[in-house]
Structure 1
Amino acid sequence: MKKAYVFPGQGAQFVGMGKELYETSPLAKEMFEKANEVLGFRITDLMFGGTDEDLRQTKVTQPAIFLHSVILAKTMGGEFSPSMTAGHSLGEFSALVATGALSFEDGLKLVYKRALAMQKACEKNPSTMAAILALSDDKVEEICAGIDEVVVPANYNCPGQIVISGSLKGIEIACEKMKEAGAKRALPLKVGGAFHSPLMDPAKIELSEAIAATSFSRPCCPVYQNVSTIGETDPEVIKANLVAQLTAPVKWTQSIQNMIADGASEFMELGPGNVLQGLVSKIDKNVTVSGKQ
């Protein structure tokens, strides 16, 4: 019985996230206040009592989800005993801090740097993403490859659910073609830009420098990274994969399948929402899933 912990990414946020944790755990309160200090603004005010609009800003969303997830893991103490971990996109940073590969402060600084760099890249190239339902991975890849615009598969979430990413025109053309090919839905998403696509290249340069200057250790258990889909423990490999992840697809389906093949039978999602619990269940209905907020 191997237990795997998974950490959510952008989109899982909600107003009030982390508030109960802050009010009931002295350690959580201390960590949240430390985060306010590191970031230079009271992110807790936005998390606990801001608006949906406040939380949708990439520069707020990413550190907010990271904080909720990591502080949850840290307040579990000895109860947090993973055989393996994974995080969806941004969640990979949460997994690395929770397993000791990165310090809390360094992880938060990198996440904030990543969020600002991604937001800047989005403003430079107006772009978006869309969810494609009930079409095979091969067909989605084939349609994207045949469009003369930037449009690529960005998130392999579960069988029959892929998110594509690209220019506004590219996504518009792709959605039409996906529907023509038999997709049940081709739904543009309310996101700031084309994450996990070549349009994030400007952010990659900034993040690469920040990661190179940060100290990483070996995690206490393998972290199944979005880019490689296998359990990684080598700090240098982890750093390279974190940089590559900005413009490469999140291979969530493949990562979960590999975790199950390596013995994971129980998955717990730590952080806001329950999106990952649903995805893991769709990838393999025989595993146990649960969550903690």
Structure 2
Amino acid sequence: MGKIAFMFPGQGAQYIGMGKDFYEQIAVSKNAFQTASKVVGLDLEKLCFEENEELNITEYTQIAILTVEIALLYALEEIGVKSDINIGLSLGEYSALVASGVLSFEDACKVVRQRGIYMEKEVPAGQGAMSAVLGLDANMIEDCLANVEGNVQIANYNCPGQIVISGDLMAVTDAGKVLTQAGARRVIPLNVSGPFHSQLLKGAGDKLGTVLDTVTINDIRLPYVANYTAQYVKDKNDVKELLKKQVYSSVKFEQSIKMLIEDGVDTFIEIGPGKTLSGFVKKIARDVKVFNVEKVEDLGLFGKV
């Protein structure tokens, strides 16, 4: 029998009302919201369930998504659905760490709250940018970026034909023109508050390192994949440095999924808001099973795994 991987999405998947049915119907999920609120001193129920402007601001988005993902994870675990391996995209890596027993949920809340603040504030508004590049091979994009002046790099290897670039506003704009001329089907500027996963965020990564130094890294109970390496993390002493570098380095999601499939994973369960990661996986490999847990009724799928 093949292996099961839990996948946790990152920033951008959030919406008002995410996780509300779990909060209302499942005690372990409600407890996750209450725990997060207590740890970070925010009203997570209000942030996630009531109309507000804060949910789309990075410093609040990140803790909100983490809370929802762990609330859903607890509900899944309670009905006996377990993973063999865990992976998250960017912010989602923290949910994977909780699922793998590496971080307590409380410590993950503490770190992610600060991560959101540092990433939000590191680069002044309007100085950085990100764009999605569609329909161009990753190697071609890397070659093109090498010839663009300024700070621009690949931020996310999402799936074949979808790469995200990040860096200085001018460099990202220039790169968009070069990539279009090189054959990209579209280059779409993203509505984000900073040049995430670029070298411009190294300061945020360094600040995050000081927060990581205050939390406990536990033994790795279940394998998890680091965004920075697209490989399993074998030594818990590597975790903090990998999370620090993740802030300003490329997220190698496509490479990670290919590695997992080679290692025998044939079932992927996306846990959290939206279906973004499921879409990526289907473009990477069509012959694997992909499920989503976003609503309480989704728990009924798991007679099928």
- Mark yes or no: TM-score above 0.5: yes
Larger mean Cα displacement after TM superposition, 207-216 or 268-277: 207-216
Counterpart code for 1:192: S
| Pair 1:6-2:20 in alignment | no
Q: Is the 8 A contact 2:130 2:165 kept in 1?
A: yes
Counterpart code for 2:256: S
TM-score with structure 2 length normalisation? 0.93
Counterpart code for 2:284: I
- Trace 1:1-293 onto structure 2 (pairs within 5 A): 1-51=2-52, 53-77=53-77, 79-123=80-124, 126-293=127-294
Q: Is the 8 A contact 2:86 2:99 kept in 1?
A: no
Could you say if the C-alpha distance between residues 124 and 132 of structure 1 is closer, same or farther in structure 2, counting changes exceeding 3 Å?
closer
How many angstroms does 1:124 deviate by?
6.9
> 2 CA distance for matches of 1:125 and 1:110?
26
Larger mean Cα displacement after TM superposition, 42-51 or 282-291: 42-51
1:72-111, Cα deviation, whole Å (9 max, x unpaired) = 1112235241111110000000000122111111000101
Q: SS at the partner of 1:122?
A: coil
Counterpart code for 2:46: D
1:47-83, Cα deviation, whole Å (9 max, x unpaired) = 10124x4221001111111111111111223524111
How many angstroms does 1:126 deviate by?
2.2
> 2 CA distance for matches of 1:233 and 1:18?
32
> 2 CA distance for matches of 1:149 and 1:279?
29
1:174-229, Cα deviation, whole Å (9 max, x unpaired) = 11111111100100000111000011011011111111221011232110111111
> 2 CA distance for matches of 1:122 and 1:94?
25
> 2 CA distance for matches of 1:122 and 1:42?
27
Larger mean Cα displacement after TM superposition, 227-236 or 1-10: 227-236
> 2 CA distance for matches of 1:101 and 1:156?
25
Counterpart code for 2:290: V
Counterpart code for 2:77: G
Q: Is the 8 A contact 2:63 2:113 kept in 1?
A: yes
How many angstroms does 1:264 deviate by?
0.1
Q: SS at the partner of 2:281?
A: helix
Q: SS at the partner of 1:286?
A: coil
Counterpart code for 1:234: D
Q: SS at the partner of 2:69?
A: helix
Counterpart code for 1:186: V
How many angstroms does 1:125 deviate by?
7.2
> 1 CA distance for matches of 2:171 and 2:125?
16
How many angstroms does 1:231 deviate by?
1.3
> 1 CA distance for matches of 2:230 and 2:237?
16
Q: SS at the partner of 1:267?
A: strand
- Runs of 4+ in structure 1 over 6 Å off: none
> 1 CA distance for matches of 2:122 and 2:268?
34
How many angstroms does 1:17 deviate by?
0.6
> 2 CA distance for matches of 1:138 and 1:100?
36
Counterpart code for 1:285: R
Q: Name the Cα RMSD after superposition.
A: 1.3
Q: SS at the partner of 2:269?
A: strand
1:217-244, Cα deviation, whole Å (9 max, x unpaired) = 1232110111111111421112221111
Question: Between Structure 1 and Structure 2, how many residues are aligned?
Answer: 292
Counterpart code for 1:140: I
Q: Is the 8 A contact 1:221 1:233 kept in 2?
A: no
TM-score with structure 1 length normalisation? 0.96
> 1 CA distance for matches of 2:262 and 2:239?
21
Counterpart code for 2:57: Q
How many angstroms does 1:278 deviate by?
0.3
1:100-151, Cα deviation, whole Å (9 max, x unpaired) = 1111110001011110010111337721100000111111111111111111
Larger mean Cα displacement after TM superposition, 40-49 or 128-137: 40-49
> 1 CA distance for matches of 2:211 and 2:163?
30
1:233-279, Cα deviation, whole Å (9 max, x unpaired) = 42111222111111110000000000000000000000110000000
